[in-house]
Amino acid sequence: SAVISQKPSRDICQRGTSLTIQCQVDSQVTMMFWYRQQPGQSLTLIATANQGSEATYESGFVIDKFPISRPNLTFSTLTVSNMSPEDSSIYLCSAQGNTEAFFGQGTRLTVV
Amino acid sequence: KQEVTQIPAALSVPEGENLVLNCSFTDSAIYNLQWFRQDPGKGLTSLLLIQSSQREQTSGRLNASLDKSSGRSTLYIAASQPGDSATYLCAVRPNDYKLSFGAGTTVTVRA
């Protein structure tokens, strides 16, 4: 199994600013993902974080709004840029082992 | 596109009662299915994973079954406790790595 540390656990941010969320995995994993969970909703995949190359974004998500880095096999960051109240959500990092998916504890973001 | 549905959306039971949570999916070409627990405002905790070749998995009071041909999985929680109160999510993994999630079932166990 893998243990994922995500920080910050929560933040309250002013609109127009940016927040970077960090995700650290305790072992090397091939696949890392970033999800968004809007209030009362299920999880929506934002992008696949690719090691050493640009992230692969899902429909409706763009790099300018959600830039992602993955410099090695254990670490990734997601930045939420130019935030608006509609970005208030829980953001979750996930690592995929050979079979099982693991999740961090999430970042609860409130934009005011 | 894989569609995952969880019924019921919410469930309230007295302590000690058994829980039955349902998950259905539209595309039976899956690699595995995973059940997660989510506490309010928190991340996901993996409960059980069932490979596509398996029929069920058990862990303590939890048992999950899989009927791939009919596109269904059921999570059973025996002798429920107030600490079981949470949202339970079903996630289906196809042959690539992208999970498709259901909307979840929110469980309340009354003391």
DSSP string, B10-76: EEEEETT--EEEEEEES----SEEEEEEE-TTS-EEEEEEEETT-SEEEETTEEEEEETTTTEEEEE
**Chain B contact set for A94 (CB, 8 A):** 99
Question: What is the pLDDT at residue A37?
Answer: 94
- Return the number of CB contacts < 8 Å for A and B: 49
Task: Return d(Cα B1, Cα B94) in angstroms, integer.
Answer: 10
Map residue B93 onto helix, strand or coil.
strand
CA-nearest residue to A98 within chain B is B97
Question: What is the pLDDT at residue B69?
Answer: 92
Answer yes or no: do A42 and B102 touch at CB < 8 A.
Answer: yes
Task: Return d(Cα A48, Cα B65) in angstroms, integer.
Answer: 29
pLDDT of B95 over the 80 cut: no
For all residues of chain A together, what is the average pLDDT?
94
Per-residue pLDDT, averaged over A77-100, amounts to 94
A31 at the B interface (CB within 8 A)? Answer: yes
Question: What is the pLDDT at residue A11?
Answer: 97
Answer yes or no: do B97 and A102 touch at CB < 8 A.
Answer: no
Answer yes or no: do A104 and B43 touch at CB < 8 A.
Answer: yes
% of residues, chain A, pLDDT over 90: 80
Question: What is the pLDDT at residue B85?
Answer: 98
Q: Which of B66, B98, B105 to mutate to test the interface with A (most CBs of A within 10 A)?
A: B98
Q: What is the pLDDT of residues B16-59, one digit of tens each?
A: 999 999 999 999 999 999 999 999 888 999 999 999 999 999 99
B98 at the A interface (CB within 8 A)? Answer: yes
Query: Which H/E stretch holds residue A57?
Result: strand A56-57
Partner residue opposite A90 with nearest CB, options B41, B93, B97: B41
Answer yes or no: do B42 and A106 touch at CB < 8 A.
Answer: yes
Question: What is the pLDDT at residue A40?
Answer: 85
Question: What is the pLDDT at residue A1?
Answer: 76
pLDDT of B96 over the 80 cut: no
Q: What is the pLDDT of residues A8-49, one digit of tens each?
A: 999 999 999 999 999 999 998 888 999 999 988 889 999 999
Per-residue pLDDT, averaged over A80-105, amounts to 93
Question: What is the pLDDT at residue A20?
Answer: 98
Answer yes or no: do A33 and B93 touch at CB < 8 A.
Answer: no
Q: Which of these, A58, A45, A1, lies nearest to B93 by C-alpha position?
A: A45
**Chain A contact set for B95 (CB, 8 A):** none
For all residues of chain B together, what is the average pLDDT?
95
Partner residue opposite B99 with nearest CB, options A101, A104, A108: A101
Q: What are phi and psi of A85, to 5 degrees?
A: -55, -25
